[in-house]
Structure 1
Amino acid sequence: MQEIIKIPEARIGLVIGEGGKVKKELQKSFGAKLTINEDGTIEITSDDGLNVYKLKKAVEGIARGLSLDIVLSLCDDAYDLDIINLADVLGKNKNAINRYKSRLIGTDGRIKKIIEKKTDTDIAVHGHKVAILGKYDDVANAKSAVEMILQGNDFKTVFAVLDNKLIDR
């Protein structure tokens, strides 16, 4: 099976890594081959479609700012990566996107860190996308919190809803 994805050209170096280290580790861990082109297109091939799917998610995570160690958790079937496109939620207005990115991250990354801690996920904000990696239910809870913030909800409300979801587990 084969899949071709596109990542920002500026992020290709992160996927390759120093001396090709990241690329080799990804290929070894996910059992699939990466062919990386200078224009940002990446071809992922393997006989196993699940390996292609998982490696695609890992590459997307790295392209969005997650570290290699974090995306390697995708080798475990219990983990998933969800990417929220802020332009889909907020429209193409760059000022609105930047304002809500700042709101989502918070001063010194405080809001993002609280969501990560409460949901046991890793979150990266890069460009107009938000990447959330963790176990399925945790990703769903973090995504819900991010969407509430993007809808303009008060942080106190968002954290209270998160706390209630965690109690219900």
Structure 2
Amino acid sequence: MVSGKNFPHITHSSFVVNIPRERVGVLIGEGGSVKAEIERLLGVSLQVDSSEGTVVISLAKPVEEGGDPASLFKARDIVTAIGRGFSPEKALKLVEDGTVLTVIDLTDYVGDSPNHLARVKARVIGTQGKTRRIIEETCQVDVSVYGDTVAIIGEYENARAAEEAVVTLVRGAPHGAVYRMLNEYARRRKTGGLYPPRPRF
């Protein structure tokens, strides 16, 4: 860990990601294990300012020496996912090609009223986690409801379907209509992976 003033000059081969300070310990892991695993898998360097929640992500090797710029994007998404409440184990699924992270900012739909945010988060989670579980199982994704966001990890088409379900719930659709939409998506996926139609309600 380094302080903000000691961060190197930020170049086109680096990303800066800000995560909640309470998630910094999860990103680092016991004895630095999670941070080290991300660095090892992707060939990147993470410099973490634990007091600010700022993470600088750089290639461990320059591109001309074999550094892969695509690894920067994957590392950025993994760090962001951990910051959005995912466990490191789930966030590391983003190492795989074709697996994407989607982050839905609930304030874009209901503003920043604590009451409105609590209401829509409860709709996405459902009683005893039922709705979130149905979205995860039907779309084969992982879902994290954290702070003012809902984040999704999964293969591209599955993540899109889960995002559509979440946004539809946030906009006020009945749960039953969304469940029917998800079931239709699951059926169509088996016969060609078609994106689900919007529900009628």
Moved over 4 A (4+): none
Q: Which residue of 2 aligns with 1:6?
A: 18
Matches within 5 A, 1:1-169: 1-38=13-50, 39-46=52-59, 47-169=67-189
Which is richer in helix? 1
1:115-138 C-alpha deviation (Å, 9 max, x unpaired):
100000000011001110010000
TM-score normalised over the length of structure 2:
0.81
Q: Counterpart amino acid of 2:157? A: D
Distance 2:105 2:41 in 1: 27
> How many angstroms does 1:69 deviate by?
1.6
Distance 1:31 1:88 in 2: 35
> How many angstroms does 1:33 deviate by?
0.8
The answer (yes or no) to whether the contact 1:29–1:72 under 8 Å persists in 2 is no
Distance 2:184 2:124 in 1: 20
Secondary structure, counterpart of 1:66 in structure 2? coil
Taking only the aligned residue pairs, the percentage that are identical comes to 34
Secondary structure, counterpart of 1:83 in structure 2? strand
How many residue pairs align between the two structures? 169
Distance 2:114 2:162 in 1: 24
> How many angstroms does 1:166 deviate by?
2.2
> How many angstroms does 1:55 deviate by?
0.5
1:26-82 C-alpha deviation (Å, 9 max, x unpaired):
111122110001211100001422111101100111111211221211111110010
**Max Rg structure:** 2
Structure 2 runs not aligned, ≥5 long: 1-12, 60-66, 190-201
Structure 1 runs not aligned, ≥5 long: none
Distance 1:95 1:31 in 2: 43
TM-score normalised over the length of structure 1:
0.96
Q: Which has the higher contact order (CA 8 A, sep 6+)?
A: 1
Secondary structure, counterpart of 1:152 in structure 2? coil
- The Cα RMSD (Å) is 1.0
Distance 1:85 1:140 in 2: 15
